Amino acid sequence: MVRHWLVPALLLFSTTIYTGPSLAQEQPKAAVTVAKPVVRDVVDSDEFIGRFEAVDEVTLRSRVGGYLDQVNFKDGAMVNKGDPLFVIDQRPFKTALDVATSALEVAKSTLTFAESEFNRTQALVQKGTLSVSTLDDRRRELQSGQANLRGAEASLARAKLDMEYTTIFAPLSGRIDRRLISVGNLVQPDQTALTTIVSLDPIDFYFDVDERRLLNYARVAREHGSNLQEGGGALEVSVTIADSTEKPFKGKLDFAENRVDQETGTMRVRARFDNPNFVLQPGLFGRVEVNASNTYKGILVPDEAIGSDQDQRVVYVVAEDGSFVSKPVRIGPKLYGYRVIREGMAGDETIVVNGLTRLRPGVIVDPKLVVLPPEAAATTENGQ
C-alpha cells in the first residue's frame, strides 16, 4: 500500500526530470571574432640566400720588376681611378731612358749622313763620274740608317713605357685593401701581388634559383617583353642583411647564366643594387625576395584564422544565424602580414579570425565583427 505522503514527492521529481532538457537548450553561445578577408592587389615573392660580390675587382701587379720605393695610400681607404698607389725605384729605368734617348740621337745623325751621301752619289752617277754599284752601296747604307732610326725610336718608346710603369695607378674607383708588400722588397713583374681594389657602388648579389621558379621568372620576364638572361625586365628584388636596423635594399635582376647546372638543377642569377653609402660590402650574406608574379587580386587572411582538419587546411565561415561550416583552402605565401589563399575562397565570406578553439559541432557562435587593416603591422616577413 502506497503511502499518501509519497505522491507529492513523486510529482515534484517527475517535474524536475521533464524540465532538464529545456535548460540544456539555453546554453551560452561561443564568443568569436569574425571578419571579411583582405582583398587587395598583391605580387607573389620567393626568398633565397645569396652573397654580395663586387661589380669590378682587380689585383694590382707591377708590369716591371724592381724594388718598391713608395706606397701612396692608406690601408682600407677609398681611392679614385687614376690615383698613384705604388712607385718602383725609378733610377734604373731613368738610366735606360737616357741610353735610349742617346741612341736615337746617334741614329738620327747616322741617317742624316747616309741621306747626304746617297744624294751626292746619285748626282755623280747621273754625270757618269761614279758607277751604279757605288750608288747601290749608298742606297743600302741609307736604308740601314732608316731601319736603325726606327729601332732607336722603338727602344725609346719602350724605355718611356717602362718608366711610366714604375708608377702604379688605381685602375678603378673603390675600396683598397691593405698593402701586401712593404717598401724595399723586390717586386717581380706580373707576379707579385701588391694589393686589391673592389668597387662598391653599384654592387651585385648572386643567388641560385631552382628550375621550377626559374621557368616562372622567365615567363614573367617575357610578359614584360624582356629576357631573363638580359636582366629580367621589371623583376624587382629586395635584400635584407643581418643588421635588422637596415631597411631592405631595392634592386633588379640584371643577369642569369646561360645554362642550368646539371648536377644541382639550379641557375645562378644576379641582381644589382645601388650602394651610395657603402653599407653593402662584398662577401656579405643576405636574403633576397624576388617578385614571382604579375599583380593580381589576392585573398588574404590571418594565420590565426586557418585551422587543420586531418591533412587539409580549413577556414570557418559563419552564417547570419550563427552557424558555421569549415571550408577547405589551399594556402600560399605570406604577404603584408597575412596568408594568401590560393583556392577555396571567393573573398566575400565572413570567417572566424579569433576563437577557433571554441568551435565544436553543433555550437552556435556569438560573432563580433572586426575590420582587418590592409596590412598587418605585426610582421613584415614574407615566406612560405
What is the DSSP annotation of 31-81? EEEEEPPEEEEE--EEEEEEEEEES-EEEEE-SS-EEEEEE-S-TT-EE-T
Cis peptide bond N-terminal to 92, omega within 30: no
Residue spans of the domains in the chain: they are 30-42+296-370, 47-55+201-291, 63-85+169-198, 91-165
Give the pLDDT confidence score for residue 193 in this predicted structure. 95
pLDDT digits (tens, 9 = 90+) for 63-97: 999 999 999 999 999 999 999 999 999 999 999 99
Residue 108 class from Cβ within 10 Å (0-12 exposed, 13-18 middle, 19+ buried)? middle
The answer on pLDDT for 286 being more than 60 is yes
The answer on pLDDT for 24 being more than 60 is no
Give the pLDDT confidence score for residue 176 in this predicted structure. 95
pLDDT digits (tens, 9 = 90+) for 184-241: 999 999 999 999 999 999 999 999 988 888 787 777 767 666 666 555 455 778 898 8
CA–CA dist 291, 143 (Å, integer): 72
Give the pLDDT confidence score for residue 272 in this predicted structure. 92
Please report, as a single letter, which amino acid is at residue 81: K
For the four alpha carbons of 363, 364, 370 and 375, in that order, the dihedral sign comes to positive
What is the Cβ-side half-sphere exposure of residue 307, based on CA atoms within 13 angstroms?
A: 19
When pLDDT is averaged across residues 330-338 and rounded to a whole number, the result is 84
**pLDDT band at residue 319 under the 50/70/90 scheme:** confident
Residue 229 class from Cβ within 10 Å (0-12 exposed, 13-18 middle, 19+ buried)? middle
The answer on pLDDT for 268 being more than 80 is yes
Give the pLDDT confidence score for residue 161 in this predicted structure. 94
Residue 347 region by backbone torsions, left for phi larger than 0, else alpha for psi between -120 and 50, else beta: left
Give the pLDDT confidence score for residue 383 in this predicted structure. 40
User: Taking the model in full, what pTM does it have?
Assistant: 0.67
Please give the CATH number for the structural domain made up of 47-55+201-291. 2.40.30.170
The answer on pLDDT for 10 being more than 50 is no
Q: Which of 368, 235, 346 is nearest to 291 (CA)?
A: 235
Q: What percent of the chain has pLDDT over 70?
A: 86
Highest mean pLDDT among 39-43, 114-118, 174-178: 174-178
When pLDDT is averaged across residues 326-349 and rounded to a whole number, the result is 87
pLDDT digits (tens, 9 = 90+) for 30-75: 888 898 999 988 877 778 899 999 999 999 999 999 999 999 999 9
What is the DSSP annotation of 207-242? EEEEHHHHHHHHHHHHHTT--GGGT-TT-EEEEE-S
Domain 30-42+296-370 has CATH 2.40.420.20: yes
Distance in angstroms between the alpha carbons of the first and the last residue of the chain: 79
CA–CA dist 107, 1 (Å, integer): 158
Please give the CATH number for the structural domain made up of 63-85+169-198. 2.40.50.100
Tell me which of 1.10.3470, 1.10.4190, 1.20.1420, 1.10.287 is the CATH number of domain 91-165. 1.10.287
CA–CA dist 40, 300 (Å, integer): 8
